[in-house]
């Protein structure tokens, strides 16, 4: 069996996922990324947070949400009364997608096809952790978890149920807050984000 075609039997634990995702070549994104970045957190976490994909810092460190968006997330979690170390943090796509621009690597959104291919890994993590609640951060995460494209606005604020009974809350991606130039708007959006996370705390 080629390494990239890992079979169900080869990936039985979260450690297997972390090791194997690094060698995955199911989609072309692995060609340029430094390493695959698997989810991180307690195996029995009640809440799973799903982001989009590793960013520049995550790609270099091999850990999710350690860059600027991760900082925004950490602060919002704290404000919402959620302990980050008790959550399972992962991404819809496990390799960093970027465009080289001089010395910088500019983030690019993953395509629906890339998200759908990478679902194999997200599904493994979901099956192993079995969270009560999944919180999707942004549109790519929502697609990764549901397999469908839906608007966050239409789903936000309500508790949805996934097949198997897992609850789902859809909210924005923290990097959205970093991109808002208007201070007042940013503060308002941030407060809504914290409110979504506080609702997550109540649910799980």
Using the rule CB under 6 A, is 30 a contact of ligand URA? no
Using the rule CB under 6 A, is 110 a contact of ligand URA? no
CB 93 within 8 A of CB 140: yes
Q: Which of 36, 39, 41, 54 binds ligand URA (CB under 6 A)?
A: 54
Using the rule CB under 6 A, is 131 a contact of ligand URA? no
Using the rule CB under 6 A, is 88 a contact of ligand URA? no
Q: Which of 67, 110, 131, 144 binds ligand URA (CB under 6 A)?
A: 67
Q: How far is CA 76 from CA 58, 92, 156, 161, in A?
A: 19, 21, 17, 24
Q: How far is the CB of 108 from ligand URA (least distance, A)?
A: 12
Using the rule CB under 6 A, is 52 a contact of ligand URA? yes
Q: Which of 18, 20, 69, 133 binds ligand URA (CB under 6 A)?
A: 69
Q: Which of 41, 49, 65, 114 binds ligand URA (CB under 6 A)?
A: 65
Q: Which residues contact 10 (CB under 8 A, 6 or more apart)?
A: 1, 16, 20
Q: Which two tokens stand for residue 62?
A: 């091999």
E-state strands within the chain: 47-51, 88-91, 98-101, 104-107, 133-137, 160-161, 167-171
Using the rule CB under 6 A, is 91 a contact of ligand URA? yes
Q: How far is the CB of 130 from ligand URA (least distance, A)?
A: 21
Q: Which of 125, 177, 161 is nearest to 18 (CA)?
A: 125
Using the rule CB under 6 A, is 53 a contact of ligand URA? yes
């Amino acid at each position: 069996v080629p390494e990239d075609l890992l079979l169900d039997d080869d990936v039985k634990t979260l450690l297997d996922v972390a090791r194997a995702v690094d060698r995955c070549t199911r989609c072309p994104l692995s060609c340029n990324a430094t390493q695959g970045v698997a989810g991180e957190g307690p195996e029995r976490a009640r809440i799973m947070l799903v982001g989009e994909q590793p960013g520049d810092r995550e790609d270099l460190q091999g850990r999710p949400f350690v860059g600027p968006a991760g900082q925004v997330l950490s602060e919002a979690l704290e404000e919402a009364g959620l302990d980050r170390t008790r959550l399972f943090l992962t991404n819809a796509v496990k390799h960093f997608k970027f465009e080289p621009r001089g010395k910088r690597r500019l983030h690019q959104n993953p395509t629906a096809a890339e998200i759908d291919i990478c679902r194999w890994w997200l599904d493994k993590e979901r099956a192993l952790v079995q969270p009560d609640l999944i919180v999707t951060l942004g549109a790519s995460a929502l697609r990764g978890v549901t397999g469908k494209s839906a608007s966050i606005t239409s789903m936000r604020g309500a508790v949805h149920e996934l097949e198997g009974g897992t609850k789902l809350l859809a909210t924005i991606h923290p990097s959205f807050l970093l991109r808002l130039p208007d201070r007042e708007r940013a503060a308002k959006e941030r407060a809504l984000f914290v409110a979504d996370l506080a609702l997550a705390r109540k649910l799980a």
